[in-house]
C-alpha cells in the first residue's frame, strides 16, 4: 500500500493507465521471479528483494527524491530509505524480520550497487528492464513521444 499512489514517472497522471511504484514493483517481481526460476535460483528470495526494492521512494517520483536530496544534510537516497522502512518503520516501528540477503538486495538494487547474491543481481537487472520498457510505454500512452520517435536500434533490442 505504501507504493500505491506514488507515481513512477509522471507527477499527476490522469486515469489508471500509467504505472505507479506499486505496479512497477509487481512487474519487477514478476520478471525477476521468472528469470530466477529459469536460472534455478531462490525464487522466494528474488521476489522478496523485488517487492522491497522501491519502498523508500518519495511521492512525486524522482522529483520528490531530488527535492529531499537538496534539503537533507546527508542527502536522500531511496534505496537507503527502503532499508529504514523495513528495519525501523514497518510493523509499528519494530521493523520486519527480513534476512540479511533480502536487506542486502534491497539496499544494493540501484545500478551502482553490488548485491551479494545472484538473486539480488537478478532484481537489479530486472528493475532496469522494467523501467526502461514501461517508462517508454507510459510516455507513448501519454503522447509525450510517438513510437516512431524511438530509434530502431532500441526497438530491435527492446521490442
3-state SS of 49-118?
Answer: HHHHCCCCCCCCHHHHHHHHHHHCCCCCCHHHHHHHHHHHHCCCCCCCCCCHHHHHHHHCCCCCCCCCCH
Question: Which residues on adjacent β-strands are paired with residue 7?
Answer: 20
| The residue count for the chain | 159
Band (pLDDT 50/70/90 cuts) for residue 101 is very high
Q: Out of 17-21, 33-37, 119-123, 151-155, which region has the weakest mean confidence (pLDDT)?
A: 17-21
Q: Determine the Cα–Cα distance for residues 51 and 25; give it in Å rounded to an integer.
A: 6
Tens of pLDDT, residue by residue over 43-58, are 999 999 999 999 998 8
Domains present along the chain, CATH in parentheses: 21-158 (1.10.3210.10)
Q: Determine the Cα–Cα distance for residues 144 and 97; give it in Å rounded to an integer.
A: 42
Is a pLDDT exceeding 70 seen at residue 15? no
Read off the pTM: 0.80
C-alpha grid cell, residue 141: 500512452
DSSP per residue, 120-148: HHHHHHHHHHHHHHHHHHHHHHTTSS-GG
Q: Which among 29, 43, 28 is positioned nearest to 119, based on CA atoms? A: 43
Q: Which among 4, 100, 105, 129 is positioned nearest to 59, based on CA atoms? A: 4
Amino acid at each position: 500500500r505504501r507504493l500505491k499512489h506514488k507515481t513512477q514517472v509522471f507527477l499527476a497522471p490522469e486515469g489508471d493507465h500509467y504505472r505507479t511504484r506499486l505496479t512497477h514493483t509487481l512487474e519487477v517481481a514478476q520478471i525477476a521471479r521468472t528469470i530466477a526460476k529459469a536460472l534455478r535460483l531462490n525464487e522466494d528470495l528474488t521476489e522478496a528483494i523485488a517487492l522491497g526494492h522501491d519502498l523508500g521512494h518519495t511521492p512525486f517520483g524522482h522529483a520528490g527524491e531530488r527535492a529531499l536530496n537538496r534539503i537533507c544534510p546527508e542527502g536522500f537516497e531511496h534505496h537507503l530509505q527502503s532499508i529504514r522502512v523495513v528495519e525501523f518503520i514497518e510493523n509499528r516501528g519494530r521493523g520486519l524480520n527480513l534476512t540479511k540477503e533480502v536487506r542486502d538486495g534491497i539496499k544494493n538494487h540501484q545500478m551502482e550497487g553490488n548485491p551479494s547474491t545472484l538473486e539480488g543481481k537478478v532484481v537489479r537487472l530486472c528493475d532496469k528492464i522494467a523501467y526502461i520498457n514501461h517508462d517508454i510505454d507510459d510516455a507513448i500512452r501519454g503522447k509525450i513521444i510517438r513510437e516512431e520517435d524511438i530509434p530502431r536500434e532500441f526497438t530491435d533490442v527492446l521490442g
